[in-house]
């Protein structure tokens, strides 16, 4: 491959300032600098400003048969934006505008590289009565990327996964064609994906391997005048999870329900893994720490909702944290998630699963972690009125220590194997090795369909090769 | 419930704002880059350093990154590039050095990162990388090397003659040859913002402070030190300290934020020159005088102003309130804040050698700050750093907004 020729053509599209093949600039796109997944290599990085520029970039990638990796912040716990087969990283952060907010139908039309900070800033200044669901990711990460990869938000009880927050998409396909899916394919009105064939699925969960999303409409929600964040604690998951499941189905204006293990909280607040109890259960510490957020339109409604939450919690043996704690702090740099072991490395087994498997998931993962001398950093969030949930387990390591990296890889795979025995456990933002497991297990005709779709949308296989499905 | 804020001073490193800081590890300062390589690798390049937390609507905070755009120009990128060259993942090069010099070392990025070690100490390796670049022959940038040469010859970076340094001094200013207090004017004030020097000297006279301006005052060394030339800067510092001692100086008042930071912090902490001289910055001096009743502002100045926090006294030294308190004491002054203020202030783009070596970046930063100031509908931007002031005056177009030093307003109000 002649980089100079490609760079020169790319410069013609976006200008010299926004293309680089200098090692000092491409180095930072080789991988995410967090996980234990292998490094890739970014040969060229480019920063387009418009969908038309993205189209031209895709055409060049097809011409030279060179990989393209869509990228916003490049960090996620599955390393899905790592250029495993080299090529061009398309850093989308110049595509960062909030184009429209429709207050009537409550959605924001944003560009593909918009960050949580960017969206929150815009809403805070211009639409303080509306709120976006926000992830636990840091403020500099991408909204659209998170939605496309099934990220989950602090409004998950209302809207489900990030993917379900998507009303419509504008996408540059691997072939270079620009398409729109959802109501926006018939008008400039981005109210939803219904009632046309739901083509958004061609891009959701594919980890950028079918196209580059240049615009997306994301659902917003009303910020009601009365809000309370409950922090409910219990001694065990056996005690606490049934309470959360009951709350999720009680219709109490709840927009978020999640649970952290004790060690996850310690990580989040920046404690050092080597200095905290490996097994807090032995010290009778409350290992079950949950958050429940409710909001209401009137004070009476709010009081009734809060009273019901308190009653259900007490009946289930949970105690409320004595001091009021605001959970309205997102997005936040929860650096302990990758730095609990003070080596800057972290990776998870993050999965969607049935709500009836949360306790088993926690216990299986915990036992495996303890066996290897790791704490139990578990986290689960109930979604979409309690229809399903996300469960995650983190392992931290020192990025400077090859032995620790290798050990983390082994532990993660062990945990994955254990929890995969439970109902419906499927990783999201799954790294390549997990994909390989699923490709063997998935219904064969389904996988064949995936391959056909991939071939259709990305005939030269330039889009994020090594990631996604049907590669 | 009101958000609980943790605010602490970390050894002259500015006001730090960590929301959840379970553990703070003290890290040795002023070390070489090897010393920090494991700490920098805690960085996950997550991008938190790019924007102000929601206090200021998540605004962008890093002039270098916003201008350079690629990861490399933000703190996260610089952290990992520092790790890369100390771990043989990347070789030193002119391009790498240029990335590290393409930064005003304003440290706004550090205030956003919540990893305590990076939050408190990232400035250490940003400087250590510059020093390493100099050691390896990749730094400073050519323009910075030129002004350093001039400093060695004429003791100022402005290509001016040393003998002209006190040309600003009017005959009515009364000095006391035996005074133990020196007014350290600084290069920018002496050659470019002489109104500030005159106002400061007049205030001192009006308060009947016995002071003198050193006959042979020279550059404090800040522009040399900030561009990674620590050895040369130390030599300058040693000569200056000798001069202060020879002149019998016990207290230095300075109207320059950069000189203040250098004399007060860099000389003893970086160069080990425990000069034992009290160093006071003009706004703090004014506030002390007001609080003690020795200074009274009798004249009204009817003006709506906004205050720009200079990086050298703000994030570098943790001084945010004294200038505001002084301004609020002046009758008629209405002080309004820009969205990005105090530890979140957007840098004016003149420091760290940027104004000389990267004019486009410098202008970009200045223009954005001026626009932000105009957005408050203030009539003037007020600061207490002649370098910021000169930067604003240079970039303000068509008198769209005025720019003053705090000493100029204080002088008018007396």
The complex scores an ipTM of 0.95
- In this complex, do A24 and B46 lie within 8 Å of one another by their Cβ atoms? no
Beta bridge partners of B229: none
- The predicted structure's pLDDT at residue A330: 84
Domain ranges for chain B:
7-135, 163-288, 297-413
DSSP annotation of B2 reads P
- Mean pLDDT on A179-197: 96
- The predicted structure's pLDDT at residue B12: 34
- pLDDT band, very low/low/confident/very high, at A275 (cuts 50, 70, 90): confident
**Percentage of chain A lying above the pLDDT 70 cut:** 100
> What is the homologous superfamily of the domain A226-427 according to CATH?
FAD-linked oxidases, C-terminal domain (3.40.462.10)
User: What topology does CATH give the domain A98-222?
Assistant: 3.30.465
Angle at B225 between CA B391 and CA B269, to 5 degrees: 115
Q: DSSP letter string over A21-68?
A: --HHHHGGGSS-SSSSSPP---SEEE---SHHHHHHHHHHHHHHT--E
Length of chain B: 414
Write out the residue limits of the CATH 3.40.462.10 domain(s) in chain A.
226-427
- The predicted structure's pLDDT at residue B22: 55
Tokens of A224: 């009601």
- The predicted structure's pLDDT at residue B17: 52
| CB-CB contact of B43 with B80 (8 Å) | yes
Q: How far is CA A110 from CA A93, A189, A325, B191, B197, in A?
A: 12, 13, 31, 49, 51
Of B21, B46, B95, which is closest to A73 when you measure between CB atoms? Answer: B46
Write out the residue limits of the CATH 3.30.465.10 domain(s) in chain A.
98-222
- Which one is the CATH code of B163-288: 3.40.50.11810, 3.30.930.10, 2.10.109.10, 3.30.2130.30? 3.40.50.11810
- The predicted structure's pLDDT at residue B24: 62
Angle at A137 between CA A132 and CA A139, to 5 degrees: 70
Q: Is B363 exposed, middle or buried (0-12, 13-18, 19+ CB in 10 A)?
A: middle
Distance from CA of B42 to the nearest CA of A (A): 4
Site of tokens 């030279």: A64
With a cut of 60, say whether residue A82 has pLDDT above it.
yes
- Mean pLDDT on A248-254: 96
Find, in chain B, the residue whose alpha carbon is nearest to that of A49: B69
Distance from CA of A437 to the nearest CA of B (A): 28
Distance from CA of A400 to the nearest CA of B (A): 8
Find, in chain B, the residue whose alpha carbon is nearest to that of A337: B44
CA distance B413 to B55: 33
| B121 closest CA partner among B87, B94, B89, B82 | B82
- The predicted structure's pLDDT at residue B5: 40
The verdict on whether omega for the bond into residue A331 sits within 30 degrees of 0, i.e. cis, is yes
Residues of A in contact with B53 (CB under 8 A): 139
- Which one is the CATH code of B297-413: 3.40.50.1860, 3.30.230.10, 3.30.565.10, 3.40.50.11540? 3.40.50.1860
With a cut of 70, say whether residue A243 has pLDDT above it.
yes
Distance from CA of A328 to the nearest CA of B (A): 10
- In this complex, do B3 and A326 lie within 8 Å of one another by their Cβ atoms? yes
Find, in chain A, the residue whose alpha carbon is nearest to that of B51: A117
Tokens of B245: 């001692």
Q: How far is CA B9 from CA B38, B263, B316, B318, in A?
A: 24, 19, 11, 7
Tokens of A199: 């083509």
Find, in chain B, the residue whose alpha carbon is nearest to that of A268: B20
Mean of per-residue pLDDT scores for chain A: 94
Length of chain A: 471
- Mean pLDDT on A163-171: 98
Write out the residue limits of the CATH 3.30.43.10 domain(s) in chain A.
3-91
Architecture of domain A3-91: 2-Layer Sandwich (3.30)
- Among the residue ranges A128-137, A277-286, A373-382, B253-262, the one predicted with the least confidence is A277-286
| A361 closest CA partner among A407, A292, A427, A436 | A427
Q: DSSP letter string over B70-129?
A: SGGGSHHHHHHHHHHHHTTSS---HHHHHHHHSS----HHHHH--SHHHHHHHHHHHHHH
CA distance B164 to A15: 46
Beta bridge partners of A44: A88
Each residue's pLDDT, cut to its tens digit, for chain B (414 residues) gives 333 344 343 333 444 455 455 556 678 889 999 999 888 988 999 999 999 987 778 899 999 999 999 999 999 999 999 999 999 999 999 999 999 999 999 999 999 988 888 888 899 999 999 999 999 999 999 999 999 999 999 999 999 999 999 999 999 999 999 999 999 999 999 999 999 999 999 999 999 999 999 999 999 999 999 999 999 999 999 999 999 999 999 999 999 999 999 999 999 999 999 999 999 999 999 999 999 999 999 999 999 999 999 999 999 998 999 999 999 999 999 999 999 999 999 999 999 999 999 999 999 999 999 999 999 999 999 999 999 999 999 999 999 999 999 999 999 999
Find, in chain B, the residue whose alpha carbon is nearest to that of A330: B54
Among B47, B50, B73, the strongest candidate for a mutation testing the A interface, having the largest count of A CBs within 10 A, is B47
Distance from CA of B169 to the nearest CA of A (A): 46
Could you give phi then psi for residue A383, rounded to 5 degrees?
Answer: -130, 150
Residues of B in contact with A23 (CB under 8 A): 90-91, 93
Residues of A in contact with B1 (CB under 8 A): 324-326
Q: Is B297-413 the same fold as B163-288?
A: yes
- In angstroms, the first-to-last Cα distance of chain A is 22
């Amino acid at each position: 491959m002649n980089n100079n020729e490609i760079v020169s053509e790319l410069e013609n599209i976006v200008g010299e300032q926004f293309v680089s093949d200098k090692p000092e600039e491409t180095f930072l796109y080789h991988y995410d600098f967090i996980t234990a997944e292998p490094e890739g290599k970014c040969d060229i990085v480019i920063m387009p400003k418009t969908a038309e520029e993205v189209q031209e970039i895709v055409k060049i990638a097809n011409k030279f048969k060179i990989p393209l990796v869509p990228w916003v912040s490049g960090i996620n716990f599955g390393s899905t934006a790592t250029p495993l087969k080299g090529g061009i990283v398309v850093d989308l952060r110049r595509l960062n505008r909030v184009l429209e907010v429709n207050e009537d139908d409550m959605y924001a039309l944003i560009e593909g590289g918009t960050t949580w900070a960017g969206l929150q800033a815009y809403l805070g200044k211009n639409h303080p009565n509306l709120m976006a669901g926000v992830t636990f990711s840091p403020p500099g990460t991408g909204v659209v990327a998170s939605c496309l990869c099934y990220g989950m938000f602090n409004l998950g009880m209302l809207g489900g996964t990030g993917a379900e927050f998507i009303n419509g998409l504008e996408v540059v396909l691997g072939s270079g064609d620009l398409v729109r899916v959802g109501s926006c394919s018939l008008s400039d009105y981005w109210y939803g994906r219904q009632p046309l064939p739901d083509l958004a699925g061609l891009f959701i969960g594919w980890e950028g391997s079918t196209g580059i999303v240049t615009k997306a409409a994301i659902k917003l929600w009303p910020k009601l005048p009365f809000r309370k964040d409950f922090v409910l604690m219990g001694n065990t998951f056996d005690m606490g999870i049934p309470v959360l499941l009951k709350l999720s189905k009680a219709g109490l204006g709840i927009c978020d329900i999640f649970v952290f293990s004790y060690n996850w909280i310690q990580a989040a607040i920046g404690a050092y893994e080597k200095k905290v109890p490996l097994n807090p259960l032995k010290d009778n510490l409350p290992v079950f720490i949950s958050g429940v957020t409710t909001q209401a339109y009137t004070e009476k409604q709010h009081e009734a909702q809060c009273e019901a939450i308190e009653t259900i919690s007490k009946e289930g043996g949970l105690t409320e944290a004595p001091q009021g704690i605001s959970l309205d702090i997102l997005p936040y740099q929860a650096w302990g998630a990758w730095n609990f072991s003070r080596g800057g490395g972290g990776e998870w087994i993050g999965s969607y699963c049935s709500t009836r498997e949360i306790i088993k998931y926690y216990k299986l993962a915990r036992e495996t972690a303890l066996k290897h001398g790791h704490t139990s950093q578990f986290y689960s969030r109930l979604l979409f009125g309690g229809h399903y949930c996300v469960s995650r387990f983190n392992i931290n390591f020192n990025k400077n220590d090859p032995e620790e990296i290798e050990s983390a890889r082994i532990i993660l795979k062990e945990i994955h194997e254990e929890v995969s025995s439970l109902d419906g456990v499927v990783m999201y933002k799954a790294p390549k090795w997990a994909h390989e497991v699923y490709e063997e297990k998935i219904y064969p005709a389904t996988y064949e369909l995936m391959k056909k779709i991939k071939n259709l949308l990305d005939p030269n296989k330039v889009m994020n090769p090594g990631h996604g499905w049907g590669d | 419930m009101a958000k609980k804020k943790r605010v602490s001073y970390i050894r002259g490193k500015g006001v730090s704002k960590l929301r959840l800081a379970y553990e703070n590890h003290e890290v040795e300062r002023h070390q070489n880059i090897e010393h920090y390589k494991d700490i920098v690798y805690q960085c996950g390049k997550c991008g938190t350093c790019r924007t102000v937390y929601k206090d200021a609507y998540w605004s962008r905070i890093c002039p270098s990154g916003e201008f350079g755009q690629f990861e490399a120009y933000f703190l996260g990128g610089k952290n990992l590039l520092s790790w890369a060259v100390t771990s043989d993942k990347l070789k030193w090069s002119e391009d790498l050095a240029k990335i590290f010099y393409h930064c005003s070392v304003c440290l706004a990025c550090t205030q956003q990162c919540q990893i305590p070690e990076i939050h408190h100490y990232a400035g250490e390796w940003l400087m250590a990388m510059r020093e390493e670049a100099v050691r390896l022959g990749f730094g400073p940038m050519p323009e910075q090397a030129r002004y350093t040469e001039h400093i060695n010859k004429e003791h100022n970076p402005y290509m001016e003659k040393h003998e002209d340094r006190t040309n600003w001094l009017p005959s009515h200013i009364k000095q006391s040859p035996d005074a133990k207090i020196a007014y350290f004017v600084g290069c920018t004030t002496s050659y470019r913002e002489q109104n500030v020097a005159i106002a400061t000297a007049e205030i001192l006279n009006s308060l009947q402070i016995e002071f003198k301006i050193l006959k042979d005052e020279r550059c404090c060394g800040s522009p040399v030190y900030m561009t990674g030339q620590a050895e040369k800067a130390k030599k300058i510092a040693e000569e200056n300290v000798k001069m202060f001692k020879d002149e019998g100086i016990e207290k230095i008042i300075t109207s320059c934020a950069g000189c203040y930071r250098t004399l007060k912090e860099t000389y003893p902490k970086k160069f080990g020159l425990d000069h034992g001289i009290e160093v006071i910055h003009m706004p703090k001096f004014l506030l002390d005088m007001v609080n003690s009743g020795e200074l009274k502002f009798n004249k009204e100045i009817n003006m709506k102003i906004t205050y720009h926090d200079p990086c050298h006294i703000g994030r570098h030294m943790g001084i945010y309130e004294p200038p505001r308190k002084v301004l609020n004491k002046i009758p008629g002054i209405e002080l309004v804040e820009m969205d990005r203020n105090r530890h979140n202030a957007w840098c004016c783009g003149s420091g760290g050698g940027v104004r000389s070596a990267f004019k486009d970046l410098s202008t970009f930063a200045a223009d954005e700050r001026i626009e932000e100031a105009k957005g408050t509908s203030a009539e003037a931007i007020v600061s207490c750093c002649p370098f910021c002031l000169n930067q604003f005056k240079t970039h303000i177009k068509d008198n769209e907004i005025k720019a003053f030093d705090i000493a100029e307003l204080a002088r008018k109000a007396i």
